[in-house]
Amino acid sequence: MSTGLLFLSSLIFLVLVVCSVYTLSKDIDASPGLLLRKMLYRLAQLAGLLAALALAVYFLGFL
Amino acid sequence: MKRGKSAFVPMLISWLIPGYGFMRNGHWKKGLYFFVILELTFLLGAALRGAILIPTFAFRDPTFNLVNILTFITQIFNGGLSVLSALPELFGQSVAILPYEEDYVWADLGNFFLLVSGGMSYFVLVRTWDHFYAEKKPAVERTEA
């Protein structure tokens, strides 16, 4: 497996693990629909944060 | 709900087996999901040759590294598999059950899988305590000034 593909698939898998475990353990009595919405919301938040970090690292490369 | 001293054994087993606390208290589907996903993450990391490496705790030692210590502390929250993974560090290569190759090209990525698994196991453990065993404080009534 190529390096980029392995890192990208690892990143996606680990982000899914973090979001699903965090949401399922925190909101214990929520309905499945609400759980899914919260999970997707946290997924978007984490993906945005990671994208911002990636951009920051990319531009730091020009310094 | 069981509180106080009686929580020690279930919390200890929850450390060894992520999700056990949820299964024991009636949320067996969620507990099973935590067990499968956290152990799978750890085993994927082990397949990439990630392993629990015991850091140097002596402050004056030249190999002392705070990041390694924090990584170790986080990783060991997935109790059962982290004990298995640390066996070669403690007793030598002959007792290695999980793959152990510190210089393997993907070992750092594997360690990151172990870190995520340990961190989320910690979160599940804390939530087990909060939901099922912690003393519930009575709501404080607001008084008008």
Tens digits of residue pLDDT in A12-33? 999 999 999 999 998 888 898 9
How would residue B3 be classed by pLDDT, with cut points 50, 70 and 90?
Answer: low
pLDDT confidence of residue B96: 82
> Which residue of chain A comes nearest to B37, CA vs CA?
A17
Whether pLDDT at B138 is above 80: no
Q: Which of B55, B116, B57 is nearest to B86 (CA)?
A: B55
Chain B residues lying within 8 Å of A24, measured CB to CB = 30, 33-34
Give, for A37, the enclosing helix (H) or strand (E).
helix A32-60
Partner-chain residue, chosen from A10, A13, A17, that has the shortest CB–CB distance to B120: A17
Distance between CA atoms of residues B63 and B48, nearest Å: 24
Burial letters for B116-140: b for 16+ Cβ neighbours within 10 Å, e otherwise? Answer: bbbbbbbbbbebbeebbbeeeeeee
Length of chain B equals 145
DSSP category for residue A28:
T
B46–chain A Cβ distance below 8 A for any pair: no
* Chain B residues touching residue A20 (CB < 8 angstroms): 33, 37
Number of Cβ within a 10 Å radius of residue B11:
16
- For B98, other C-beta atoms within 10 Å of its C-beta total 19
Q: Percent of chain B scored above 70 by pLDDT?
A: 92
- Per-residue pLDDT at B2: 53
> Which of A7, A9, A24, A36 is best to mutate for the B interface (most B CBs within 10 A)?
A24
Q: What is the distance between the terminal CA atoms of chain A, rounded to a whole angstrom?
A: 32
Q: Has residue B92 got a pLDDT over 80?
A: yes
pLDDT above 60: residue B145: no
Which residues, numbered 11 to 30 in chain B, qualify as contacts with chain A under a Cβ-Cβ cut-off of 8 Å?
22, 27, 30
Q: Which residue of A has its CA nearest to B30?
A: A24
